[in-house]
A = this chain, B = another copy of it.
Amino acid sequence: KISLGVELHCRCIQTERKPIGRHIEKVELIPASSHCEETEIIATLKRTGQEVCLDPEAPWVKKVIQRILSKK
């Protein structure tokens, strides 16, 4: 679900549909740029280290990010 290699293009091909909030180790936010027209959000999962793309428009994704930001 993620393409590898240099970031001269979009990295996300598909986004995860099911909420995975509790298993996130970190979240990368990549603003839209000349390399990729869309904002990309890539979560790294705990334990497996698997990277999954999240949909910036999905309400549960916004909530996950707000929850991370609201904790000290």
Contacts and interface: CB of A to CB of B under 8 A. Distances in A.
Counted per complex, copies of this chain come to 2
Contact of A29 (B56, B57, B68, B72): B68
A28 B56 CA distance: 15
Interface in A19-50: 24-33, 38-39
Contacts of A31: 24-26, 68, 71
**Residue of A24, A33, A57, A68 most packed against chain B (CB within 10 A):** A68
A65 interface: yes
Contacts of A8: none
Smallest CB-CB A-B distances: 6 pairs: A27-B29, A26-B30, A31-B68, A29-B68, A39-B71, A28-B28
